[in-house]
Structure 1
């Protein structure tokens, strides 16, 4: 193992692995962006990666020169990635240049502060950790970005383009607003405007109802003393031990008998049942972490218990309330099983139920992808907006505390 504790061994080994990772990443990116064939080559990627790794150990300038060389041989067909004969010269230059640049910059960062000779255990582990960190960033980013990218690009395609080349995920900007034809047809012909409003209304009501029940319940578990308190606190999440699919038939029968099936009220009634336990569990843990002395001071000043909760506990709990609200909203927004089981009237469909109705051989695939984008974007926007609110709530809570 000590053999690897030398810069001119560690550098080439990590360089070979890193360059192969970059080659795979750039190949996938260029294939998606241009619709042309790019593919990594294992042997050449490892070989040129070892060269870049050794150069990065020597100096940054050497790494830059090695990157230029790798880009040049790549254009000649002997680089870490190969491109088809139909690929345009510009795309080839961008692909090979990006691959060489990212490989060189990554190795310079991985091997920074490393001496040219023997490495201490700390220096060796630091280089390996940097490599694993970079690999982790690329891997998990790809897992998140690639499906969303494919979904968005497919939604912008025409039926003819999908039939000609289903794997072409490039964008033809010459079509202008025609790219959004699928979205227009969804709102015009499939009632997605109604689905969007229904989902928003149901999700907001679910959040409100959940907080109305979860806040006093969580506060009681965290602060009050009553018989069975410990057992109740431990059994909050027991409902999640029963899969929802097991409860589907009883819920369907009960709602059909009560006349609640195929109604918005029925959905609003059942959704909080699935969200109150987790909200109660999250909030009671946060309430326990708040200083009890502040609430006791409020009680001594003549405030009632409800006023203490309203004036002291809730302002200090804004970060937790924001997190719980976001989590509950996401559960309600993305819920499918109950909506699919209880809703048959298209005028009452939620987004997830509406998207399921698009899963038909008679409806173009790009419509299904466009519906998925419509369902995903609001949640992403809400999360980004609420993240700032959570930061403000955390600051306000720390000042009040």
Structure 2
């Protein structure tokens, strides 16, 4: 394995130049509607130059300035690391070259920080590679999450004429003002999306309450009590997830049709907890096992019975876990589509996902479908961000120290 700095630096520089060029090309393509693509020769020259320079110059600002100057020079010679499929003007080309070269120089200074020109130790080589892979992973997974959401939001703000003229143009025309949100207004005015959101909300809340009602005592019994078959029950909690829901869908449809539960809110409220209780049991039993048994034993010695111990001691200590499970169950119920699509036919009781599916028609503009998807996504995102602190608390919250 070659661990020479004068080899590793240019190689990582070329690879990182392609990553940055691809990122810039994708961002500019989506934001302007023009066609951008990475330039092979420009990335090789600029990346190798910055990778080699980073071994001599340790200042990120100096490397950034040098990268900007080199990128600008390459763009003048027609070897720009990012090629433009449309004429955006001299100012846009200048800004792109300066931003690209500056970002590349600064990032290469971080990736090759402390790397020598000659032979590198294993630690120095691995550290440089890990920094490169970390940056690549951050960009890749950010793009994988952000691009679909960006396309969804931008499409929802388009007009039908703009979508027909250029379906791949995801830029936004701010001159339209409040008319950008026309699709959202029409969804609530003409497609009853307010009713769909309310239906999904209270079904999700009921699902959370029913799930906790059964999963809390069940998980506590598996984690704390001793009885015959405890180990087998603990291992078999998630067996239901071994059977795909699409396999169970037809029997559920037949049974609900025969019993008159299909196309009713009661039927949905009955079937949703079946899909959420197993995972809630699994999550809560692990948390209950992590709580110190000494706290509950102290409560029993103070005269509390088992139910009082659970209510006054275990549940308060388990608040982070219960909030995490509630959030997870709420998200499952809010986003559930297959059962709602099969069991609901009356538009008056559609859930939000079922209502969005009704927009998937040639008679409904595509921007309305994307607006519905945004409406379904944003509340869950806000809820998750608001309760994120409960998701990240350790399992030792409230434990005894001594």
Distance 1:211 1:358, change over 3 A: same
SS in 2 for 1:260: coil
Corresponding residue for residue 234 of structure 1: 235
User: Which stretch of structure 1 is more off in the superposition, 355-364 or 42-51?
Assistant: 42-51
Corresponding residue for residue 98 of structure 1: 99
Corresponding residue for residue 157 of structure 1: 158
Corresponding residue for residue 298 of structure 1: 299
SS in 1 for 2:37: strand
Cα distance in structure 2, aligned partners of 1:190 and 1:126: 55
Cα distance in structure 2, aligned partners of 1:379 and 1:76: 49
Corresponding residue for residue 90 of structure 2: 89
Q: Mark the runs of 5 or more structure 1 residues left unpaired by the alignment.
A: none
CA deviations over 1:222-251 (Å, ceiling 9, x no partner): 011112111111111111111111111211
Corresponding residue for residue 41 of structure 2: 43
Corresponding residue for residue 14 of structure 2: 16
Corresponding residue for residue 216 of structure 1: 217
SS in 1 for 2:155: helix
Q: How does 1:319-334 map to 2 (within 5 A)?
A: 319-334=320-335
* Contact 2:199–2:351 (Cα < 8 Å) also in 1: yes
Q: CA deviation at 1:397?
A: 2.7
Q: Mark the runs of 5 or more structure 2 residues left unpaired by the alignment.
A: none
Cα distance in structure 2, aligned partners of 1:9 and 1:247: 57
**TM-score normalised by the chain length of structure 2:** 0.95
CA deviations over 1:83-130 (Å, ceiling 9, x no partner): 134323333233322221221111010011122332111111110110
Q: CA deviation at 1:46?
A: 1.9
Corresponding residue for residue 75 of structure 2: 74
Cα distance in structure 1, aligned partners of 2:227 and 2:311: 22
Q: How does 1:38-187 map to 2 (within 5 A)?
A: 38-59=36-57, 60=59, 61-62=62-63, 64-74=65-75, 76-187=77-188
* Contact 2:184–2:371 (Cα < 8 Å) also in 1: yes
Q: CA deviation at 1:400?
A: 9.1
SS in 2 for 1:252: helix
Cα distance in structure 1, aligned partners of 2:395 and 2:231: 29
Corresponding residue for residue 385 of structure 2: 384
Q: CA deviation at 1:63?
A: 5.0
* Contact 1:263–1:348 (Cα < 8 Å) also in 2: yes
Distance 1:90 1:205, change over 3 A: farther
Corresponding residue for residue 373 of structure 1: 374
* Contact 2:207–2:333 (Cα < 8 Å) also in 1: yes
Corresponding residue for residue 317 of structure 1: 318
CA RMSD of superposed structures (Å): 1.8
Cα distance in structure 1, aligned partners of 2:103 and 2:67: 12
User: Which stretch of structure 1 is more off in the superposition, 186-195 or 242-251?
Assistant: 242-251
* Contact 1:318–1:394 (Cα < 8 Å) also in 2: no
Cα distance in structure 2, aligned partners of 1:63 and 1:175: 38
Corresponding residue for residue 205 of structure 1: 206
* Contact 1:222–1:287 (Cα < 8 Å) also in 2: yes
Cα distance in structure 2, aligned partners of 1:152 and 1:76: 38
